[in-house]
């Protein structure tokens, strides 16, 4: 079923009729060619999702809420993925896949070795474009949240973002065989906490940037023994968080892990 995100705060309850406008109305009528009685899913702010039935499609589009959906597709913690500026299609890709894998926000930041630069004049347009990719991916992956995409001018600004936990993926840690930190810090997370995962650009971090992040409370973590590209590391991190926090661990330990 098609899922749409409603931006306006409103009291949603079964029986309420909602008028749908703009891009949503366009998608329902022109792209999907839906008719009255067709069903859609509508997600309201504060992560409430409803099944709704279209009551009319002309001259305006309206739908009546039928029942609230209880299935929760969100990670138990609010994850921000912070990435050094990468070439254009890599940012698109990080936002699309990261949204599917459960990130709640993305921050792109300028850093010492970043190959790409964001022209200040084009920043607003770039963020709008990435925000649209996040919205489309959130619909496709049946999220309750559309992740927000932001820009930070350097690592110092990144260090000032509010967080309950921060980690930084540093290639040198992986090369040195660091394998203990990620599981350890992730298991310390409590539901609802905010975690920021920081990933370097294609050119990697400058050592002083890692020192600065460590001083600001970001733990250096290794993501296994293989060298991952700038855009692959955040995907590993989000999948690992889901594996640790969302999949059940059997009580009996296996022969392998002994």
For position 190 contacting a second copy by CB under 8 A, the verdict is yes
| 48 vs 242 by CB, closer to a second copy | 242
Provide the β-strand partners of residue 241.
none
Q: Cα–Cα distance between 85 and 123 in angstroms, integer? A: 12
Near a second copy by CB under 8 A: residue from 179, 202, 214, 219 = 179
Near a second copy by CB under 8 A: residue from 14, 207, 217, 224 = 224
Provide the β-strand partners of residue 7.
none
For position 68 contacting a second copy by CB under 8 A, the verdict is no
For position 194 contacting a second copy by CB under 8 A, the verdict is no
Among the candidate windows 32-40, 41-49, 141-149, 204-212, which touches a second copy by CB under 8 A? 141-149
CA-closest candidate to residue 249, choices 172, 200, 186: 186
Q: Cα–Cα distance between 45 and 75 in angstroms, integer? A: 17
We find the least distance from the C-beta atom of residue 50 to a second copy, in angstroms, to be 18
Provide the β-strand partners of residue 40.
52
| 117 vs 190 by CB, closer to a second copy | 190
Tell me how many residues contact a second copy (CB under 8 A): 51
Q: Cα–Cα distance between 109 and 153 in angstroms, integer? A: 6
Near a second copy by CB under 8 A: residue from 68, 72, 208, 211 = 72
For position 244 contacting a second copy by CB under 8 A, the verdict is yes
**Maximum Cα–Cα distance across the chain:** 66
Near a second copy by CB under 8 A: residue from 17, 19, 56, 187 = 187
| 21 vs 243 by CB, closer to a second copy | 243
We find the least distance from the C-beta atom of residue 226 to a second copy, in angstroms, to be 5
Q: What are phi and psi of 152, to 5 degrees?
A: -130, 140
Does residue 76 sit in helix, strand or coil?
coil
Work out the end-to-end distance of the chain between its first and last CA atoms, rounded to an integer number of angstroms: 45
Find all residues with CB under 8 Å of 156, minimum gap 6, and list them: 212
For position 51 contacting a second copy by CB under 8 A, the verdict is no
For 42, what's the count of Cα atoms within 13 Å in the CB-facing half-sphere? 32
Strands 105-109 and 148-152: parallel
We find the least distance from the C-beta atom of residue 123 to a second copy, in angstroms, to be 28
We find the least distance from the C-beta atom of residue 224 to a second copy, in angstroms, to be 4
* Site for a second copy, rule CB under 8 A: 71-74, 97, 100-102, 140-143, 175, 177, 179-180, 182-184, 187-191, 222-229, 232, 235-236, 239-240, 242-250, 253-257
């Amino acid at each position: 079923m098609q899922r749409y995100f409603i931006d306006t705060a409103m009291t949603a309850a079964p029986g309420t009729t909602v008028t749908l406008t703009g891009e949503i109305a366009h998608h329902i009528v022109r792209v999907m060619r839906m008719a009255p009685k067709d069903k859609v899913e509508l997600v309201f702010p504060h992560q409430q999702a409803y099944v709704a039935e279209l009551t009319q499609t002309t001259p305006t589009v309206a739908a009546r809420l039928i029942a609230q959906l209880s299935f929760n597709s969100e990670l138990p913690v609010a994850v921000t993925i912070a990435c050094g500026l990468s070439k254009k299609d890599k940012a698109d890709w990080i936002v699309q896949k990261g949204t599917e894998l459960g990130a709640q926000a993305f921050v792109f930041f300028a850093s010492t070795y970043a190959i790409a630069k964001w022209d200040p004049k084009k920043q607003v347009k770039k963020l709008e474009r990435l925000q649209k990719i996040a919205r489309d991916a959130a619909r496709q992956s049946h999220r309750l949240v559309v992740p927000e995409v932001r820009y930070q001018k350097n690592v110092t600004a990144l260090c000032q973002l509010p967080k309950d936990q921060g980690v930084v993926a540093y290639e040198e840690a992986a090369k040195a065989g660091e394998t203990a930190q990620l599981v350890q810090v992730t298991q310390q997370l409590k539901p609802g906490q905010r975690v920021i995962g920081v990933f370097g650009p294609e050119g990697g971090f400058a050592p002083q940037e890692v020192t600065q992040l460590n001083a600001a409370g970001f733990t250096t973590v290794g993501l296994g023994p293989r060298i991952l590209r700038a855009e692959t590391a955040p995907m590993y991190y989000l999948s690992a968080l889901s594996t640790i926090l969302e999949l059940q661990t059997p009580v009996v330990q296996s022969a392998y892990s002994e």
